[in-house]
Structure 1
Amino acid sequence: MKTMYFLIIATVMATFSMNVEAQKTSNGKKVLVAYFSRSGNTKAIASHIKELTGGDLFEIQTAKPYPADYHACTEVAKKEKNDNARPELKEKVKNIEEYDIIFIGFPNWWGTMPMPILTFLESYKLEGKIVIPFCTHGGGGEQSCFRDFVKNTSKATNKKGFITSGGAASSARPQVEKWLKEIDIIK
């Protein structure tokens, strides 16, 4: 019975401690982690950010899914980029005005952000918000990803983005934590 009592107390204390930590790390600001991910790499980084900031996750999805085949998907993405398309999104963040800090993640597609990210950015008024990009890539690096992001979020406050190769995404939590401290999001 005594052991059970201490176990319950320890669980309650751990839960309380996690909640306090999440509030402390986001500096009292409400955090949204929005991401677009084809293979799961960008989702892995989004999950790290969510865990470290206590933020809410939102997956950016297109109304018409991309082809499952990699090469077919890249051809659609290339055409969208060439056409400067704005693919329709499956759903919107209904309460975006409540968020102070918005992380937006995406893979590098053809040297920049996937076009659904532009649809997302153009769907909201981001003035007064802190917006922070994060990107995964398959070897192409940053290229124009962050420069294009800042160009399309110029009315918001931008902070330095995070980039990693897709293959390193699932184990990048220490690097994500270091970056979040560098940009003064967590302590």
Structure 2
Amino acid sequence: MKNSKTLLIVYYSRTGNTKAVAELIQEKVGGDLVQIETEEKRPTNYQKEVEQNVQEQEREVLPELTTIILDFDKYERIFVGTPTWNMALPQAVVSFLDSYDFNGKTIIPFNTHGGYGAGSTFSQISSNTKSANVLEGYTVKGGEETNGLMLIIKDKNREKVSKKIDTWLEIIN
């Protein structure tokens, strides 16, 4: 899979943990790395961000994205990285999934969370990419913003996560 031109790693990240996992995956398998970004700037205050996201989830609001992947059709395997917010996908990720046709593609989800696990993120990715082959996802504990822990996938912890990603990639081939 290394340096595959048909491989895309797309991710959404607030504190950098999901981005760190995306970068580790790219180091191992190659491919193009793209961050999902919203048109409207997100709140920097954690509690305001949580409140805005809960409202978006409840109202099924899909934020406009500045991220556009012009040559999306060329990608056969797509890693989709997301944090868990309110035990679900951030609406920006739902917006991304809603924007493209995943028919015949292989989706490989990965997730970072604050200690409560992947929530419904993997099942949401599956249900939003029905015509794709969705592989087993990888989830890892990232930061705990409520406790002031932001980017924790760094240094020795990054090495540990890197080894776990190696094992996961072997399992999913």
State TM-score, norm by structure 1: 0.82
1:169 is the counterpart of 2:153: yes
Q: Secondary structure at the match of 1:22?
A: coil
1:181 is the counterpart of 2:161: no
Structure of greater Rg: 1
Q: Secondary structure at the match of 1:89?
A: coil
> Residue 75 of structure 1: CA displacement?
0.7
- Which consecutive residues of structure 1, in runs of 5 or more, have no partner in the other structure? 1-20
User: What residue number does 1:95 align with?
Assistant: 71
Q: How many percent of aligned residue pairs carry the same amino acid?
A: 37
> Residue 61 of structure 1: CA displacement?
0.3
1:54 is the counterpart of 2:25: no
Q: Which amino acid aligns with 2:60?
A: N
Match of 2:84 among 85, 94, 108: 108
Contact 2:40 2:64 in 1 (8 A): yes
Q: Which amino acid aligns with 1:147?
A: S
Aligned length: 160
User: What residue number does 2:118 align with?
Assistant: 142
- Which consecutive residues of structure 2, in runs of 5 or more, have no partner in the other structure? 144-151
> Residue 169 of structure 1: CA displacement?
3.3
User: What residue number does 1:39 align with?
Assistant: 15
Q: Which amino acid aligns with 2:171?
A: E
> Residue 30 of structure 1: CA displacement?
1.6
Distance between the aligned counterparts of 2:2 and 2:29, measured in 1?
6
Distance between the aligned counterparts of 2:123 and 2:56, measured in 1?
19
Distance between the aligned counterparts of 1:114 and 1:36, measured in 2?
8
Distance between the aligned counterparts of 1:22 and 1:78, measured in 2?
38
Q: Which amino acid aligns with 2:169?
A: L
Q: Which amino acid aligns with 1:134?
A: F
**Aligned structure 1 segments of 4 or more residues deviating by more than 6 angstroms:** none
Q: Which amino acid aligns with 1:146?
A: F
State TM-score, norm by structure 2: 0.88
User: What residue number does 1:5 align with?
Assistant: none
Contact 1:136 1:164 in 2 (8 A): yes
